[in-house]
Amino acid sequence: MSARAAPQFGGHGIEDLARRAGSTPFFTLDGEAVYRRIRDLRSVLPERALLCYAIKANPLPALLERMNALVDGADVSSVGEIECALSAGFAGHRLGLTGPGKTDAALALAVRAGVRICAESVGEITRIADAAERQGRPARVALRVNPDFPVTGTRVRMNGDSVFGIDCAQIPIALKALRTRQLEFGGFHYHCASRMLQADTVNALHAHCTAHALQTADTAGLALPWLNLGGGFGIPAVEGEAALDVASVGRHLQSLDERLRALHPDGRIALEPGRYLVGEAGIYVCRIVERKTVRGRVWLVVDGGAHHHLHATLQPDREQPANLPMQLVQRTPADDSECVSIAGPLCAPFDVLARDIVLPRAQPGDLLVVRQSGAYGASASPTAFLGHPSAAELLL
Ligand SMILES: Cc1ncc(COP(=O)(O)O)c(C=O)c1O
């Protein structure tokens, strides 16, 4: 964007938003953009598919209240997330609890609230059964599967030798444990990768997981009520990356849904994206406090960084370390551009928001807008680090 254009976000000037937030840094999420994203995604998905939201991407309470009306359910991974979802109006039966380290408190709350629990180990099934027995309530238990399938095209993989899910070889033992402890079989759950940008990658993964679920249900003689294919849809994070072709993913899901319906008429495919639904709808804004030159490199030092937005700084899961898209809001628009690096105030070498990015010549007082910041921002960063204040958050 040119230095002279007055950058806007969600129909508001960035300086106006800064005044509304009261201080920098702050995150802002455009609720209308989230609404449009969900509407557009739904338009390509099979009508019967359940679209859920992975709350970990952004658990802002005001956002969850809006999400409640827009999605069919939510993925939660802790007591805190269950409580946030319930307070935002999600009924317990619309929630799925995943995560490899569920505490007894989380299991007890999930049983009490009627949450579908996605067991990630055979041992966890025992703890769920104990919690259900203590409360004299039934529990609905899906099995999170760790499928043996090579995921390509992303570095963020959650299958194979990772901690997530139950090894395929142990699924028969897990199913037997459900029967022995008289727990309701709630289906299969697969979430194997994040940041997938190629439709072929997503489609291959969905096909593999669906085949595994159908085959396992058939062998065990089970009706399959729920086939959760997880999230993992990526958003272009750096220049040159193309958006995921969700129309292709949707067409492929139509065919998987037809197969599922033919064998299990009541079975529903569920998806639970996080980043894809909110990532592009959010920005992080900080202010430049200093410019300096060190050994020929121009540094802009800003008042925000890794303590609010770790993802914008470390980005360990990128194929190539790369900067998120950024732009400046200048009091006096510059005529010339320059190549700069941008650091936060944390006195830590990792607190670098951008390396060698070309921007209009910036001055202290200018605002830096970091785009693609709606997911894994405020809540995914160590906000208490170094005692800096938390970022304000706005929902438009
Ligand atoms: C179980 C589960 N579902 C969904 C998601 C959402 O992933 P993404 O934001 O990549 O869509 C995650 C993220 O880690 C997850 O662990």
151 is a domain residue: yes
Looking at the fold, whether 160 and 249 belong to one and the same domain comes out as yes
Looking at the fold, whether 185 and 118 belong to one and the same domain comes out as yes
Q: Which atom of ligand 1 is nearest to the CA of 275?
A: 9
Looking at the fold, whether 239 and 120 belong to one and the same domain comes out as yes
Average pLDDT, the chain: 92
Distance in Å, CA 319 to ligand 1 centroid: 19
Tell the burial category of 336 from Cβ atoms under 10 Å away from its Cβ (0-12, 13-18, 19+): exposed
Distance in Å, CA 365 to ligand 1 centroid: 37
The pTM for the full model equals: 0.93
Angle at 78 between CA 69 and CA 141, to 5 degrees: 80
- pLDDT score, position 318: 57
Q: What integer is the mean pLDDT of 132-150?
A: 95
Looking at the fold, whether 345 and 284 belong to one and the same domain comes out as yes
Q: Report whether pLDDT(386) > 60.
A: no
76 is a domain residue: yes
Q: What CATH number does the domain containing 335 carry?
A: 2.40.37.10
> Rounded CA gap, 274 and 51, in Å?
11
Looking at the fold, whether 267 and 296 belong to one and the same domain comes out as no
Looking at the fold, whether 15 and 66 belong to one and the same domain comes out as no
Residue 58 beta carbon below 6 angstroms from any ligand 1 atom: no
Name the band, by pLDDT with cuts 50, 70 and 90, for residue 240.
Answer: confident
38 is a domain residue: no
Looking at the fold, whether 346 and 246 belong to one and the same domain comes out as no
Distance of CA 362 to the CA centre of its chain: 32
Determine the structural domain holding residue 323 and report its residue range.
8-28+280-395
Q: Name which residue leads in pLDDT, 33 or 307.
A: 33
In the chain, how many domains are there? 2
Q: What CATH number does the domain containing 88 carry?
A: 3.20.20.10
99 is a domain residue: yes
Looking at the fold, whether 267 and 320 belong to one and the same domain comes out as no
- pLDDT score, position 163: 82
Looking at the fold, whether 192 and 129 belong to one and the same domain comes out as yes
- pLDDT score, position 350: 87
Q: Report whether pLDDT(385) > 80.
A: no
Residue 279 beta carbon below 6 angstroms from any ligand 1 atom: no
pLDDT tens-digit map of 55-91: 999 999 999 999 999 999 999 999 999 999 999 999 9
Instruction: Examine the fold and report which residue of 252, 273, 294 is the final residue of a domain before the chain moves on.
Output: 273
